[in-house]
Amino acid sequence: MQSFKVSVVVPAYNEEGNLSHLVDKLVPILSQYHDYEIILVNDGSSDKTVEVMKRLHHENSRVHYVSFSRNFGHQYALKAGLDVATGDCVISMDADLQHPPRLILQLIDGWQKGYDIVYTIRQDKGTESIFKRFSSGFFYKCFRVLTGLKMPAGAADFRLLDKKVVQVLKNMPEKALFLRGLIYWMGFKQFAISYQVEPRFSGRSSYSLKKMLALAVAGATSFSIKPLRLAIYLGFFIALMGCLFTAYVLYMKLFAGGVITGWASLMCVLLILGGCQLFVTGIIGEYIGRIFIEMKNRPSYIVDETSLEQK
């Protein structure tokens, strides 16, 4: 029996069919340690997720729940769980059982060996679509180029954090959260464990393409201003091409006696220029929007009800 407390944070959105089975898997594993708590975070679910959480809390006082007033997003549900966790180490994992609970033993073993952060890297067994595998690999490559952080492909939100790391995260007031990159950026002693993705126990994934794109934009813009610099380089390149094209037109008019006719070529140039201008404007607008949101200083999430004592 080792005298430390383990906290497990589980964000959930429409996971009524998975939570009971997950807790049944977690309790025997966590009972091997001196003390533990399971914090279930309801991210504004539209099904009976919160009712299941309340029942699990009634059956086991070490299972707690936090319920949002609406859907704020997976990253904020993770942050809410970290904010209220009281363990000496805090483990975050998904509710769909694709993160195998048995791996918790390895995470804690790595922490006991002196690592402050023990994170996992997912290995797919061909269960993911070709598009998802390609888009995921492309995102990590772009993230590394734009931020300079060598975050490995497949890094998951299934990880263990020492309480001192959790305290640092609690003190960060950022609104645009990409915890996967933020935790890697923080440093500390980190260790990686690979795991095979398990099939979902029940239900469908709520992580749509729109949510994945939003997470990718947050990741790219939260850690670097390189997209703005790329916009400058793109603008310079287009201006240079425009000057060369203008010189070519003048040469054809004055010396070669030719006249470039046709609206097709003109429309192509205008569409390309217009598209590039909108792209650059969008990048600038994304950064300005983030500044606007940060300046408002609104809370990242609102808790509707919880089984924990609120400070």
Q: What tens digit of pLDDT does each residue of 99-114 get? A: 889 999 999 999 999 9
Beta-strand pair 117-123/89-92: unpaired
More confident residue, 76 or 290: 76
pLDDT at 149 over 80: no
Average pLDDT over residues 168-189: 80
More confident residue, 217 or 50: 50
**pLDDT for the residue 170:** 87
- Tell me which residue has tokens 């400070």: 311
Q: What is the model's pTM?
A: 0.70
Average pLDDT over residues 140-147: 66
Average pLDDT, the chain: 78
pLDDT band (50, 70, 90) for residue 208: low
What is the maximum span of the chain, computed from C-alpha positions, in angstroms?
Answer: 92
**pLDDT for the residue 163:** 92
**pLDDT for the residue 129:** 60
pLDDT digits (tens, 9 = 90+) for 17-63: 889 999 999 999 999 888 999 999 999 888 899 999 999 999 999 99
CB-CB contact of 6 with 36 (8 Å): yes
Most confident of 91-105, 112-126, 184-198, 281-295: 91-105
For a pLDDT cut of 70, what percent of the chain falls above it? 64
**pLDDT for the residue 254:** 67
